[in-house]
Amino acid sequence: MNTQQPLVQKGTEIQMPHSHARNTGTKLLPDWFEDIAVNRSATERRAATLTTRRTVKKEYQAAWLVKAITCIDLTTLAGDDTAGRVRRLCAKAKKPVRDDILEALGLADAHITTGAVCVYPTMVPHAVKALEGSGIPVASVATGFPAGLTPLPQRLAEIHYAVGEGAKEIDIVITREHVLTQNWSALYDEISRMREASGEAHMKAILATGDLNTLRNVYRASMVAMQAGADFIKTSTGKEDVNATLPVSLVMLRALRDYGELSGQTVGFKPAGGMKTAKDAMNWLILMKEELGLPWMQPDLFRLGASSMLGDIERQLEHYVTGRYAASSRHALA
């Protein structure tokens, strides 16, 4: 058993969402983004070197992995989801790491949980009931997820339904056609109406970056979504052929940073899709640290849309405290 200094002293509070002012948006301002060019080779080079220039080892790596857990939107978005599966997922969200591992890390009283549980709208009531009293918000995808091609009134009605059932966060999908045809006013109006329909629920705008063709489109769509009032910008639905990548994430973070400087407002970021390992979690945390700093490594401004990643993180933490790697089956997701 590892006997190093505990990662977090007893009594330390874990920051939970949402502790900062919401993004109120701006009017549509094309001059903030229309003339922006993105150098793909420079972007890919920067993204590739980020994770090789910084090394996080031993107790620091363990601490970062615990931080990653608190930023995970533990997710099930399958066609065969059931109330029972959602309840099991919520149980894992409330206790994402075994008690003996947390005790060895000095975190027995730290109340470590995931950042949220993300489900389809019809599963929201089951998740809300299972998470009652935990402080963990329920996030719901909406607006015709994942394609987003149902008529707008139905998409808005889906948001109203999910919020009415108790969802505290809404993950909307944009109409990709508006980006591909450069119809920024249509994209802005659509997202603004979705933001209004979300009410008090925080809204994450999924850009489905794998469908947008160019990094320039990614930057522009990010900026329009934030101007329309998105509280988070999110890479992917997880259903595209290409989901979250470091170069795309880097472009979105630069847009997020530019929006903050121009508007004075703070917006969060959520990569999603294709992230399965503890190493993936470390890579995106490094990206956040290098580009935006420590405030964006907290669950009120950073989320990881993942499910299987949590099992591998728990396995790595067990290795840290015991020196042995367990079989993956010892850390089942739910």
Q: 104 is written with which tokens?
A: 């060895």
Flag whether pLDDT at 14 surpasses 70.
no
**Strand intervals (E) in the chain:** 72-75, 116-119, 138-141, 169-173, 202-206, 232-234, 268-270, 304-306
Residues in Cβ contact with 320 at an 8 Å cutoff, skipping those fewer than 6 apart: 2, 58, 59, 61, 62, 105
Instruction: Using the predicted structure, report yes or no on whether residue 11 has a pLDDT greater than 50.
Output: no
| 289 catalytic per annotation | no
Q: Is the per-residue pLDDT at 138 higher than 50?
A: yes
Categorize the per-residue pLDDT at 319 as very low, low, confident or very high, splitting at 50, 70 and 90.
very high
Q: Assign 331 a pLDDT band (cuts: 50, 70, 90).
A: low
Look at phi and psi of residue 322 and say left if phi exceeds 0, alpha if psi is from -120 to 50, else beta. alpha
Give the residue among 319, 322, 309 at the shortest CA–CA distance from 92.
309
The pLDDT tens digits for 70-104 are 999 999 999 999 999 999 999 999 999 999 999 99
- Give the model's pLDDT for residue 2: 43
Catalytic residue status for 171: yes
Question: Does the pLDDT at position 308 exceed 90?
Answer: no
pLDDT in tens, 15-40: 455 677 899 999 999 999 999 999 99
Contacts of 189 by beta carbon, 8 Å cutoff, 6+ apart: 228
Residues 171, 211, 231, 280: which is the catalytic one? 171
Query: What band does 332 get if pLDDT is binned at 50, 70 and 90?
Result: low
184-227 pLDDT, tens digit each: 999 999 999 999 999 999 999 999 999 999 999 999 999 999 99
Q: Which of 67, 92, 204, 270 is catalytic?
A: 270
Confidence at residue 87, expressed as pLDDT on a 0 to 100 scale: 97
Domains and CATH numbers, the chain: 30-322 (3.20.20.70)
Residue 304 pLDDT exceeds 90: yes
Q: Which two tokens stand for residue 133?
A: 């009293």
Largest CA distance in the chain: 59
Quote the pLDDT of residue 5.
46
Q: How many CB atoms lie within 10 A of CB 330?
A: 12
Tokens of 154: 């139905």
In the annotation, is 270 catalytic?
yes
Asked whether the predicted pLDDT for residue 9 surpasses 70, the reply is no
Q: Look at residue 219 and give its three-state secondary structure.
A: helix
- pLDDT score recorded for residue 324: 84
Q: What is the mean pLDDT of residues 314-324?
A: 93
Q: Which of 234, 280, 300, 312 is catalytic?
A: 234
Strand 202-206 and strand 169-173: the pairing is parallel
Q: What is the mean pLDDT of residues 250-275?
A: 97
